[in-house]
Amino acid sequence: MNKHLPEIRKILGLIDIIEGKYKIKPNHDVDDPLLYCGVADSNLITQLGEEVEKFFGKPYKPAGEGAFFKNFFDRFMREVGGARKDQTLFRKEISDSIVIYCAFWPWGSNPVKTSVRIGLVCYGADERDFFTRELKGEF
């Protein structure tokens, strides 16, 4: 697990870009230690998506594309709670059991706002405990 820390930390550098360049503020109500959540004006999402692609590549589930079957049969999609048609989801597999992702979740109640999430999915409890301890305060 230690060998994955440098790659994960490099990707987490995206948080500095999100907060510095785009002035997105973190939502401190999020209590998952392996999840960053901020709120952006929706007009920034196109530019922000270009930045995210530098770290993750093309979206795993782009906005405008349905995810009906992925939501039911894809383990990763179930772990992040599925995705609606208007949502964008990037992912990067760190190992067979560790995936880091970035998601844009537009607000249905306020279409000019979009949640930006960066999270780490660990399929094993030992991995989750390890990364929670090692990455404390980095999300």
**pLDDT tens digits along 77-120:** 999 999 999 999 999 999 999 999 999 999 988 789 999 999 99
For the chain, the average pLDDT equals 94
pTM assigned to the model: 0.93
CA–CA dist 87, 131 (Å, integer)? 27
The pLDDT, as a whole number, for residue 30 is: 86
Compute CA 137 distance to the chain's CA centroid, rounded to the nearest angstrom.
Answer: 16
CA–CA dist 83, 44 (Å, integer)? 20
Q: How do the domains of the chain map onto residue ranges?
A: 2-60+88-134
Alpha-carbon distances, residue 115 vs 45, 46, 50, 51, 71 (angstroms): 10, 14, 16, 16, 19
Kindly state the tokens that stand for 61.
């589930």
The CATH classification number of 2-60+88-134 equals 3.90.1150
